[in-house]
Amino acid sequence: MEEILSKLLVANSKVIQEGTKELKEAFKKPEAIPALCDVIVSSANPQIRQSAAVLLRRKLGKKRQWSKLNVDTRNRIKQGMLQALVNEQEKLVKNSIAQFIGIIGKHEFPDNTWPELGMYTLSIMTEISQSSYIVHAESFAILFTNILNNITELKTNLAYYTVTTMKNLVPVIGGHQHMINIYHSLLPRVLEIISSTSQEDDKRTCDMFEILEELIEYAVAIVVPHIRLIIDMCLQIASNNSMAKSVQIKAVSVVGWLIRSKGKVVQKHKLVEPIIDVLILLMAQQPDDEGNEEYFLGDPDQFTSITVATQTLDLIALHVPAEKSGDIYAQKAAYLSLAVLAEGCAERIRHKYLEPFLKCVCSAIHNPNPVVRNAALFALGQFAEHLQ
């Protein structure tokens, strides 16, 4: 089909006539319409992509022509054209695709057989102007609930555009208690959608992760009851090496947001240890560039799984309160361990960790319990012997 369309674009009347004849013959076959759709998605030539969109608009301009296509073909065209509209970079081609989508929408809207188009439109409009739409909060609450609770396939355009629209409205849902309640009840479903999409579409997954970042920033009370569910999902994704790096990085970033905002809650749910396990797993990965490895970067666009893991570990140190064991024999074991390290790791401790080691041991010398105090004094003696 692309070869036929290319003949219509040359400045040679004979070739154009030949192409026109071939196109008429092609339209006699049912596969011509899907072939034109494939050209819109796959052709590297923007003129050919635009020509395909214009031909489709003309060919399917009347509802009876659209209705002649079988249901599967119509569904494939609807899904493919929305994706093509999102991906298209050339303005003229994008306009032609949008006009074709408008024609399909005109055929489908009376029977409400294309909800994806409605949600796609809302996802764009709510991104542009959230405050204009929050006045319809009650209607949105019903819409989100009906869609997310009734869809059976989670990796669809409809699910993605619904989550995107929800994300766009997060900054303005404060003060709308019913909306807050709906977000709270639907958040587990949103997590299911993110998880199901994570191995198939990294861009959409990263886009949908942003609803969690927005909620943590603007409506963290919605997130707190689901904090274990969110972190469990993020850790599963982050520790899965078959995932795209961008998805792993986004998952760890969300964990970092939660630690920064609700470190004590993370600790209360005993999630610090599994988080650290995954962070160490990521930090142990072989870097892409051994000679230019950075552990702390300010620009998120340059993050690697190693840098985001390193920075998240730093957030744990900053925002999660230190745990202190009440077991005196566990404390004794800790100070004896420091004492043993003093000989074998003397050089490293002396140059990098001497001050924190001394502070730790000296504070324990005044411990009221003699078991802990004696272990600390022994460690101090070892320091004096080996760390001079």
Q: What tens-digit pLDDT sequence spans the chain (388 residues)?
A: 888 888 888 888 888 899 889 889 888 888 889 999 999 999 999 999 999 999 999 989 888 888 888 888 988 888 888 888 878 888 899 888 888 888 888 888 677 777 887 888 888 888 888 888 888 888 888 889 988 988 888 998 889 999 999 999 999 998 899 999 999 999 999 999 999 999 999 999 999 999 999 999 999 999 999 999 999 999 999 999 999 999 999 999 999 999 999 999 999 999 999 998 998 888 877 766 655 555 555 566 677 888 888 888 888 878 887 666 677 887 888 888 888 888 778 888 888 788 888 888 888 888 888 988 998 899 899 888 888 7
Rg, C-alpha atoms of the chain = 30
In this structure, are residues 68 and 107 in contact, taking their beta carbons and an 8 Å threshold? Answer: no
CA-to-CA distance for 134 and 119, rounded, in angstroms? Answer: 15
| Lookup result for tokens 């963290």 | 220
In this structure, are residues 237 and 243 in contact, taking their beta carbons and an 8 Å threshold? Answer: yes
Closest CA to 160 of 127, 115, 119: 119
In this structure, are residues 39 and 77 in contact, taking their beta carbons and an 8 Å threshold? Answer: no
Per-residue pLDDT, 314: 82
| Lookup result for tokens 């409506």 | 219
List, in order, residues 6 or more apart from 384 with CB less than 8 Å away. Answer: none
What letter would DSSP give residue 288?
A: S
CA-to-CA distance for 334 and 328, rounded, in angstroms? Answer: 10
Three-point CA angle 358, 361, 362, nearest 5°: 80
Per-residue pLDDT, 190: 98
In this structure, are residues 51 and 95 in contact, taking their beta carbons and an 8 Å threshold? Answer: no
Per-residue pLDDT, 323: 65
Instruction: Give the type of residue at 249.
Output: I
CA-to-CA distance for 354 and 83, rounded, in angstroms? Answer: 58
H/E element, 341: helix 328-344
Measured distance between the N- and C-terminal CA atoms of the chain, rounded to whole angstroms = 81
The string of DSSP codes covering 35-86 is: HHHHHHHH-S-HHHHHHHHHHHHHHT-SHHHHHTS-HHHHHHHHHHHHHHHH
In this structure, are residues 97 and 85 in contact, taking their beta carbons and an 8 Å threshold? Answer: yes
CA-to-CA distance for 357 and 375, rounded, in angstroms? Answer: 14
Per-residue pLDDT, 222: 97
Closest CA to 360 of 382, 385, 383, 335: 335
Helices (H), 170-289: 177-197, 202-218, 220-223, 227-238, 245-268, 272-283
| Lookup result for tokens 């073909």 | 73
The string of DSSP codes covering 211-226 is: HHHHHHHH-HHHHGGG
